[in-house]
Structure 1
Amino acid sequence: MDINTAVPPPESADSDVSLLHKMGYAQELSRRMGAFSNFAVSFSLICILSGGITSFQLGLSAAGGASIGLGWPLGSVFALVVAAAMAQIASSYPTAGGLYHWSSILGGKTWGWLTAWFNLLGLVFVVAAINFGTWDPFFRTLIAPLFGVKPESLGWWDQTIFLTLITASQAFLNHRGIRIASKITDVSGYLIFVVTVILVASLVIYSPVKVDFSRLVTFKNFTGVDGGQWPAQTMAMAFLSGLLLTAYTITGFDASAHTSEETHDAARNVPRGIVKSVLWSTLFGYVLVCSFVLVMPDIGAAIKQGTGFFEAILAPIPGPLRIVIELLLFFINYVCGLAAVTSTSRMMFAFARDGGLPGSKFLRKVNAHRTPGIAIWVSAVLAIVITLYGDAFSVLSAGSAVFLFISYAMPVAAGIFAEGKTWTEKGPFQLGMWSKPFAVAAVIGALILAYVGIQPPNEKVIYVIVGLLAVLMLIWYGAGVRKSFAGPPVGNLSKERREKIVGLEARLEENVE
């Protein structure tokens, strides 16, 4: 794949702006991303070198090697089906609102408003979870010892300062413009491929363990084991629980949709970015997680190590090479958080643009760099705040994946009923006769994973979801939001709306840096 930085032909740029105008929005954000950049922002946010490591024990400590060798491909099929179903809708409605906008158009403003909250909260929690993972194991366990710092000497204040600094730096890079952020995610996109190959090769070459591929299809119920991730379960439930490894890793690919208004030829490049980011992540991710299983001296002992298993399997690699790998892993995980801030802030901006958030008047503002500056910093602050109380954060980070599963399923479910009725104009990316089968499969799969995601030890997530729904319904009906929130523009644009769009774009051109 080549980085697409060339200036698009005038007709392509005009087409993007015309389509955005048709949906009722001005071209406020800077459209500087090409096909590869749109792919890279999702690929960097999925980041198999983040979730594939920090969530690995969700699979291994469930049904053992079979959760990896058989569970990952099964979870990958689900992820690809969801991605394809989302990509078709994204091709029709390439806006920064993504899932929220699609749900509003296809299922009505109430459905869209609920989707927005599940998606936005899930994304904020994801930023926090990613950066927490960058702290430990990548900084605390792998990087700090390189400078003579003992991991056990680093406490809550060190963690808080670290998380504040990296999240603020990610917000700053986003604030300065999409050109800077996208160039960094472009580099990370290539590095994920390269570092995965180097890491897998190094693990296999220097491992003292004889490779035994039968490990990858061997079922062994490790639930209930001391140090494991799961309480005692049946083998069938253990295998289902293990699917959360793939689900927790292959998520965040809606980033391609949230950067639609910054991508050239969005109706084509956004759906491609969604599908390709998931496809390559599943393929390279499978090789990665399988290599972990194959080089472990003892799977039972590795389960008791938690994320420490990774440090243990790196140990046989020669020092200089291991240090280079660890530093690159730290950088890639940092960029994963950067991409998450990009995605979250665009979602917040788009929802605020339609008046869906408290303080929408401020959150929808675009700065001189043509980025949603206030939304960027609010996203960062919220992500920092929710890491401060450990007990609450553990529940919320587990819930983030469930929130995202639900938000992915909602517009797809709405599309099942809207297709051929209110949804008659599709974009260039179409599933044809597979449209509804893919949509139904995506919704069923999302519900299954959401169900697994609220089982012990994450049963508190269900209370969070029920509580959230109760609060949202109270706000929607009790606080009068149902009447005051109009949602995205629908139908033909009025003359007044067109004049407003033209005027807004003219003012932005005058203030651009």
Structure 2
Amino acid sequence: MSQAARGSAGGTGDGVSEFGYSQQMKRELGWYTSFAVAFGFVSIATGIFTAYGSVLNSSGPLGIWTWPVVVVGQLCVALVFGALAARIPVSGYAYQWISRLANPVLGWIMGWVSFTFLAVVVVAVDYTIASTILPVLFQYQGTSANAWVVTAGVLLLQAVLVALSTRATQRVNNVAVTMQLVGMVLLTVLLFVVGAATGVLDFGTLFSTGDVPSEGYFALGGLTSAGPWSLGFLMGAFTIVGFEAAANLAEETRDPARVVPKAMAQAVVGLGVLGMLFLIAVTALAGDPAALARSDTPVADVIARVLGSYVGKGLLVLVVISIFSCGLVISLSGARLVWAMARDKRFPAWRLLNRVTPATGTPLNASVFLFVVSQIVLGLFASSTQALFSLFSAATLLPALIYAATVALYLVKRRSLPPSKGFRLGRWEAPVLVVSVVWLVYELLIFRDASFAEPWLYVLVMFAIGAAYLGYLLVRHGVSGLSMPDMHDIDKTLDHDQQGVAAGGGA
């Protein structure tokens, strides 16, 4: 039995040697930092400020009630991810899991899809600051040109921080997440209290469809169109993603098999509850939802109108910090994925990208590479008249594909997974898998709508680039040359062990 097989069969350590690697980065993340990574990526401030206007236009205020459905669905996905992270706690998350449990070719494809997601979602997140928050905060007219410049600057600042110091990045994120937790609770309470005191809180708005016709509202839609209710799910689906970033930093987390699954699940639950309360408050204070839907910054407009310019601007500063933290975590996670794939010689320019710089203790080259790619993505989308919609749509479609493939892997391999080192689904496995599958199939069907043509084009272009490089790897090294370090076939290992037991019993 190989070293990896022995570790899977009976090891209890949380090191990386059983997976064929050496520990290159410091293992210093505790529970709160791991939680902050998951929470920071799944930033409700980012998601709601980015997508709320789109929901008003496509589904009306009633569309916010899709949120709890998404929370339940994504929580089940997070639990499946937790079960895998507890078995293979190494950087690269879905890339590692599928490479080792299915085969390296499928694992590489999943790694590339994950990379394309991180490259576009960091742009979508940072573009939100430039297009929906800063124009209200500083009272200037937002344009595609100035949004492009501001977003490029934010991306640069995040890349510098991630490249130079992991510890500083973690501290900034921990502080930002703490501020976001406290600030979003305070903001939600203030909106309810001030709205009730001034008599402008109208809960009837929560069940209005606004300018969206009520006839056929809950219809599933046609072959190339999704119904109004279905489109409302995109806000939650865009927001409640990225919790797996905690798994991507498993090699830097203490006791990751126990800490990471807990951090991911707690982040989804906490954000789900707080996000729903915030959506209820904002929607009940929307006034005329049809007029608000025409605004480029609907959430910011409600905050400023209800709480006044000074308090409103102070809380918008908090939102900027939260969104910056989200982009920071995405940059951190993206750099780790690039580094993890380059470490296995699976990424273009892997000789440069697989290095951990001794002076900083970070994969500096991988961080710079992700920054360059994100600037290219920004250039491709920023000239579009609906840049924000296209960015957040692509950043919703890609994780849905990743989650669906990972859950499918778990379904196929659940009987032959290596033993968990700290987290199991137990008797909840069947219902968790059923909910996950139903939710992900429904979510993916939403993207048949013709309005998602541009995000699909981005996905196809990135797939084509990835396919070309995968073809190069297969021609040069063959399928056998893509095997993972110290990789073992779990099915064969279990069969061999069972045969050995049977032979021993027969003797």
Flag the 1:37–1:478 CA change in 2: closer, same or farther, 3 A. closer
CA distance in 2, matches of 1:217, 1:159: 34
Q: Is the Cα–Cα contact under 8 Å of residues 226 and 446 in structure 2 kept in the other structure?
A: no
Q: CA deviation at 1:143?
A: 2.8
| Match 2:255 to one of 265, 269, 274 | 265
In the TM superposition, residue 329 of structure 1 has moved relative to its aligned partner by 1.5
Cα deviation code 1:394-437 (max 9, x no counterpart): 5454222211111122122111111222x132231110133244
8 Å CA contact 1:184, 1:335 repeated in 2: yes
Cα distance in structure 1, aligned partners of 2:199 and 2:49: 20
- Root-mean-square deviation (Å): 2.6
Question: Per the alignment, do residues 263 and 308 of structure 1 end up closer, same or farther by CA in structure 2, a change over 3 Å counting?
Answer: same
Query: Is the Cα–Cα contact under 8 Å of residues 29 and 254 in structure 2 kept in the other structure?
Result: yes
1:341 Cα deviation from its structure 2 partner: 0.5
| Residue deviations 1:471-507 (CA, integer Å, cap 9, x gap) | 54454346635716524324469xxxxxxxxxxxxxx
Q: Assess if the C-alpha contact under 8 Å between 1:16 and 1:265 holds in 2.
A: no
Matched, 1:26 2:22: yes
The answer to whether 1:370 aligns with 2:361 is yes
How many pairs does the alignment contain? 463
Distance 1:409 1:246 in 2: 16
Contact 1:223 1:233 in 2 (8 A): no
Over 3 Å counting, the alpha-carbon distance change for 1:461 and 1:263 in structure 2 is same
Other structure's SS at 1:426 match: coil
SS in 2 for 1:388: helix
> Which residue, 46, 50, 66 being the options, matches 1:50?
46
Q: Superposition pairs for residues 187-336 of structure 1, below 5 Å?
A: 187-207=175-195, 208-219=198-209, 222=212, 237-336=227-326
1:409 and 2:409 equivalent?
A: no
Q: 310-319 or 237-246, which moves further after superposition?
A: 310-319
Does residue 388 (structure 1) correspond to residue 379 (structure 2)? The answer is: yes
The change in CA–CA distance for 1:95 and 1:105 in structure 2 (over 3 A counts) is: same
What's the offset of the Cα at 1:270?
0.7
Change (3 A) 1:285 1:352: same
Asked whether the equivalents of residues 454 and 462 of structure 1 are also in contact (C-alpha less than 8 Å), the reply is no
Deviations 1:440-489 (A, max 9, x none): 43234223212213413112333444454455445434663571652432
Whether the 8 Å CA contact 2:136–2:300 is kept in 1: the answer is no
In the aligned structure 1, how far is the partner of 2:55 from the partner of 2:261?
29
Quick check: 2:45–2:319 contact (8 Å CA) kept in 1? Answer: yes
Q: Distance in 2 between matches of 1:193 and 1:417?
A: 38
Identity, % of aligned positions? 22
Q: 1:451 aligns with which of 445, 450, 470?
A: 445
> In structure 2, do the counterparts of structure 1 residues 327 and 74 end up closer, same or farther at CA, with 3 Å as the change threshold?
same
Task: Return the match for 2:421 from 424, 427, 443.
Answer: 427
Q: Does 1:98 pair with 2:86? A: no
Unmatched 5+ stretches in structure 1: 1-14, 225-231, 494-513
Deviations 1:261-306 (A, max 9, x none): 1111111111111111111110111111111100111111111223
Among 322, 331, 349, the alignment partner of 1:341 is 331
- Over 3 Å counting, the alpha-carbon distance change for 1:351 and 1:221 in structure 2 is farther
Cα distance in 2 between the residues matched to 1:397 and 1:72: 16
Which residue in the other structure is 1:418 paired with?
Answer: 413
1:209/1:296 contact within 8 Å kept: no
Give me the TM-score of the superposition, normalised by structure 2: 0.85
State the alpha-carbon separation in 2 of the partners of residues 329 and 309 from structure 1.
11
Closer/same/farther in 2, CA of residues 324 and 307 from structure 1, 3 Å limit = closer
The letter of the residue matching 1:260 is A
Matched residue type, 2:269 = L
Structure 2 alignment gaps of length 5 or more: 1-10, 215-219, 490-507
Query: Residues 242 and 116 of structure 1: is their aligned pair in 2 closer, same or farther, counting only changes over 3 Å?
Result: same
Whether the 8 Å contact between 1:356 and 1:487 is mirrored in structure 2 is no
The answer to whether the Cα contact below 8 Å between 2:133 and 2:297 also exists between their aligned partners in 1 is: no
Residues 479 and 349 from structure 1, CA distance in 2 versus in 1: closer, same or farther, beyond 3 angstroms?
closer
| Alignment check: 8 A CA contact 1:33 1:263 kept | yes
